[in-house]
Chains A and B, each alone.
Chain A
Amino acid sequence: MAGILTFALHYEGEINKNSQGAVSEAAKLSQQLGTDNHVVVVGEGISDEAASSLGKYGATKVFRVEAPEGLSQPVIDSMAHLFEANGYDYALFGGGLLGFEVGAGLAARLNAGVTMEVTQVNVVDGKLQAERPILGDSSISTSKYKDRGIIIGRLNSFEIVESGSGAAEVEDVTVQLSPQASQATMTVRGEQRGADVNIEDADILVAGGRGLGKAEGFDLCTDLAKALGGAVAATRAVVDAGWYPYAAQIGQTGKTVAPKLYLAAGISGAIQHKVGMQASENIVAINKDANAPIFEFSDLGIVGDLNKILPKLTEAVKAKKGG
């Protein structure tokens, strides 16, 4: 059967948020194509629970392959095997470095077309077309595929939608791995750029900018993030100033995030920052400059002094949670 095979990445027993988005996107597209929505997970001892949880995002079947964890070659072998067996037309990835590597390898293996950093996929005349921003996001390029297509999303570009009705069917598949798949072993799994918090997966982000005034100003953000159960992010300006580590940088040259709540404290909202967080579900901005561009794309804007507002907000959240 034709259709889409989506790769879902997992870490410590949980499916990566970004992959949940990719599966949701595939569910939507499969429905338009009139095909099943198949997903593959690859790793060591992936639980039934984790695999079947993808049903929530619209997966109709999840293939589970027991193979070395965290490497690209075993995934390429597994997906090539499933393409052979089931005759898919497209492979979909949520993005990330592993996704890029697997996607490129799979494209070579299948002699398929490949598009990276995709932000939108459309069904046109029963075929998929991928849209990818180019030239510093100033234009959109559209990819069509002559034959099979590999589509790799930009991180967090696909929205998570719980469209499914519970657990998906899980089918174990044995794949003959290629010799090169066992050449590399994973020695350590490092977070991208040494982050200790994975801000790309956080539901709540409290982001600080130059408006915090000084490095110590970040304590206010940390306190609030802790109270809310979220993580702390930063703008390039404050990372440049050495107030916060690069791993937490959001924007054009940092990470792209889409949390449920993005609270921007003392951030003016220049386009370079906006492109990294504009997909957030709710944006709340606090800034003393009423003319700051951030207010143009905030759901809620507060004009005022951070040093007064943030501690009060932290207190209020604590009180509410405590009570």
Chain B
Amino acid sequence: MAGSNGKHPSPAEFPPPVDTQKEFIKRELDDEEERIDVGVAIVGGGTAGLATANRLLQRLGNDPELLEQLGEVPVAVVEKAKTCGGHNLSGAVVRPGPLQELFPDLTREDWRKEGFAFGEVHKEAVYLTPTSKLALRIPPPPPFKNHGNEVISVAALARYQQAQAEEAGAYILTETAATQLLVEDGKVRGVRSGDKGRGKDGEPLGNFEPGTDITAKATVLAEGCWGHITGAAIREFDLAKGREPQVWELGVKEVWKVPTALNRLIHTIGPWPLSLSAKYGQIGGTWIYPMKNDKGEDLVSIGFVIDLEYADATTSAHDLLQLFKTHPLVKKILEGGERVAWGAKALPGGGYWSMPKLTMPGALLVGDSAGMVDTVSLKGVHHCIKSGILAGDAIYDTLKAGGTDLSAYETAVEESSIGKELYEVRNTRQPFQKGFIKGAPLVNAMIATKGKFPGGRWAWHRNDEAPMFIGKTAKKYPKPDGKYIFDKLSSVYITGNATRDDAPNHIRVQKRVPREIAETWKWMCPAGVYEIPEEAPETGPVDVIVNYTNCVQCGAITAKGGRLTTPEGGDGPLYQLT
């Protein structure tokens, strides 16, 4: 196995039991009278999918003739959460341009009134944290300059976009998972929604409802990080040909109500609480952003992001965030406050070279599904919105011309701010795969020269090919007290997660794996899904217990040797403020 040194196993050696093409692509459509026929089907009601809907409906609003042609349901958005935004999480501090472009009549003051934005960034600070006590303020490196940007909540933004889309005539099918891509004659025809009401072993229960084929003239895959159907589409249409593999990061976030307003944006870039040792392979950073709730009370968004390239199996983003909170820099801000939200989400980190081809016959990719994140500056929301705008325009133009070719979108993205910004940082993260100490100078050189020096095309290797060992990171984690430091389960609880207990397992992993792999999953999962039985042998294979009803669908498992598939629609967390 590539990447394995023979001594330590890598997750890639234990691939999940899944046959993507066979299971997630449906090649025979149901009879016409059993299908739901829509104009444009959008899979995923996050910022990118909804921006596509928003833009498309703005265009259709001025074109009653085309709107009429698209039938009873011109635009349908399929969303697996209880409401749009329910599964969305980000930092988030956004560049305002694309959102202003999408809603030109809305001022930034309006954003704040609508409750999804919390103010313009005027002051910011970047710190190095050499130890658990020290914080050294450094001049913000160019990617961290956020002056003029806006702090927002993507969960709240998605709820706003949903309301706008519905008002403009979109059908938002919440609590509906898209489980299969419909492909006929080499062309995407739509998606199939998931069955509901199946028991543990897949048997239909009393309230069983079968899924439905949703056929469309154009399909938009806006599933977010590691789209379940997107993965199948990338393989089916060979969209990743000649590209680098996608790599992932995992973010865990808390929202705190605080006694005193935070007056600046804070980023820390380590090395504490991570290890500097190249053997551990840990690269990560944190954010602390000021927010407000609807009552005008002061909140703080705090989060920890780690590259899933790490090699110490005991690395846990959730516990590292808890550890980070013990730093005096953070304590000063949070103490006397109260945690009001928690969440976790994986994000694509590969950037420009890892972006797949964005179009295929009948469908296109937007936002995180397409990997449009700049993980140097921790920014992707504005790219999500911009890609939605470009997709909405491309689909409108194609339908208007009576054509089917969506490839104009590909060019539009490349020439837009998305293509330009992501190209500039195309080589900035890869050097970190050499470790923090060897990699950091190269990262700096790449940032300073906008990727031209050392230049070339820097390759990624897959996260699941990193050999894992059982290191000492876990020894540093603080003990939960339920007030300031929290365990995973009480965190999952406040997400409002109530996945049906007798639903089928939606997580695919090999259940009998070496201790190193089992420990990797156990520590990595922010929701406590993977458990190692007490009687498991210290060395040798372990039978992992999968508590899939805890799952908050962050997607990290897909990067480290398993596969997250879609659970029953409506299951999972209900994020409000993240």
Chain A residues engaging chain B, CB cutoff 8 angstroms: 135-138, 213, 236-237, 239-241, 246, 249, 252-254, 270-272, 291, 293, 296
Contacts A236-B501, A252-B498 given; indicate if A135 touches B490 (C-beta within 8 A). no
A135 and B574 contact, Cβ closer than 8 Å, known pairs A246-B501, A253-B498: yes
- Given A137-B493, A138-B494, A237-B547, 6 further pairs, Cβ under 8 A: A136-B493, A136-B495, A136-B496, A136-B498, A213-B534, A236-B549
Docked CA distance A270–B574 (Å): 20
Closest chain B CB from A151 CB (angstroms): 23
Q: Nearest 6 CB-CB pairs, A to B?
A: A136-B496, A270-B489, A271-B490, A271-B493, A253-B501, A138-B494
A-chain residues with CB within 8 Å of residue B534 when the two chains form the complex: 213
Interface of chain B residues 461 through 510 with chain A (CB within 8 A): 479, 482, 487, 489-490, 492-502
| 8 Å CB contact of A272 from B479, B493, B535 | B493
A-B pairs with beta carbons under 8 Å apart, 25 shown: A135-B576, A136-B495, A136-B498, A136-B574, A137-B493, A138-B340, A138-B494, A213-B534, A236-B501, A236-B549, A240-B501, A246-B501, A246-B502, A252-B498, A253-B498, A253-B499, A253-B501, A254-B501, A270-B487, A270-B489, A270-B493, A271-B490, A271-B493, A291-B479, A293-B482
Which residues of chain B are near A271, meaning CB under 8 Å?
A: 489-490, 493
A135, B489: Cβ atoms under 8 Å? no
Any chain A CB within 8 A of the CB of B545? yes
Whole-angstrom distance between the Cβ of A103 and the nearest chain B Cβ:
22
Q: Which residue of A lies closest to B497 (CB)?
A: A136
CB atoms of B496 and A138 under 8 A apart: yes
B438 to chain A, nearest CB (A): 40
Q: Are A239 and B501 in contact (CB under 8 A)?
A: yes
Q: How far is the CA of A239 from the CA of B534 in the complex (A)?
A: 17
A240 in contact with B547 (CB, 8 Å): yes
Cβ proximity bits B535-554 to A, threshold 8 Å, 1 near / 0 not? 10000000001010100000
Please give me the residue from chain B that is nearest to A136 by CB atom: B496
A272 to B496, CA, bound (A): 11
Chain A residue at minimum C-beta to C-beta distance from B481? A296
A residues near B496, Cβ cutoff 8 Å: 135-136, 138
> Of A213, A241, A270, A293, which is in contact with the most chain B CB atoms at under 10 Å from its CB?
A270
Contacts of B487 in A (CB 8 A): 270, 293
Residues of B within 8 A of A (CB): 340, 479, 482, 487, 489-490, 492-502, 534-535, 545, 547, 549, 574, 576
> Which residues on A sit within 8 Å (CB–CB) of B490?
270-271
Q: How far does the alpha carbon of A55 sit from the alpha carbon of B176 in the complex, in Å?
A: 50
Chain A residue numbers with a CB within 8 Å of B494 are 136, 138
Chain B residues in 8 Å Cβ range of A296: 482
Query: How long is the Cα–Cα vector from A252 to B501 in the complex, in angstroms?
Result: 10
Query: B499 contacts which chain A residues (CB < 8 A)?
Result: 253
Question: Do residues A253 and B549 form an inter-chain contact, with CB atoms below 8 A?
Answer: yes
- A175: min CB distance to chain B, Å: 33
Out of A241, A252, A254, name the residue touching B545 (CB < 8 Å). A241
Complex-state Cα separation, A254 to B482, whole angstroms: 23
From B479, B493, B535, B576, A252 is in contact (CB under 8 Å) with: B493
Give Cα A240 to B496, complex, Å.
Answer: 20
Shortest A186–chain B CB gap in Å is 18
Query: A298: shortest Cβ distance to chain B, in Å?
Result: 15
CA distance A254 to B489 in the complex (A): 16
**B64 CB to nearest A CB, Å:** 40
Beta-carbon contact of A249 and B482 below 8 Å = no
A137 to B490, CA, bound (A): 12
Nearest opposing residue in chain B for A291, CB measure: B479
How near does chain A come to B495, taking the closest CB pair, in angstroms? 7
Q: Would you call B493 and A240 a contact (CB within 8 A)? A: no
Residues of B within 8 A of A136 (CB): 493-498, 574
Contact of A253 with B574 at beta-carbon distance under 8 Å, contacts A136-B495, A270-B489, A271-B489 already known: no
Most buried by B among A135, A137, A213, A271: A271
Report the bound CA distance from A188 to B545 in whole Å. 38
Query: Which residues does chain B contribute within 8 Å of A240, judged by CB atoms?
Result: 501, 547, 549
Docked pose: A135 CA to B490 CA in angstroms: 14
Chain A residues whose CB sits within 8 angstroms of the CB of B489 once the complex forms: 270-272
**Which residues of A sit under 8 angstroms from B502, Cβ to Cβ?**
246
Query: What residues of B have a CB within 8 angstroms of the CB of A270 in the complex?
Result: 487, 489-490, 493
CB B439 to nearest CB in A, in angstroms, measures: 38
Q: Which residues of B are found within 8 Å of A241, using beta-carbon distances?
A: 545
Measured in the bound complex, the distance between the Cα atoms of B549 and A146 in whole Å is 40
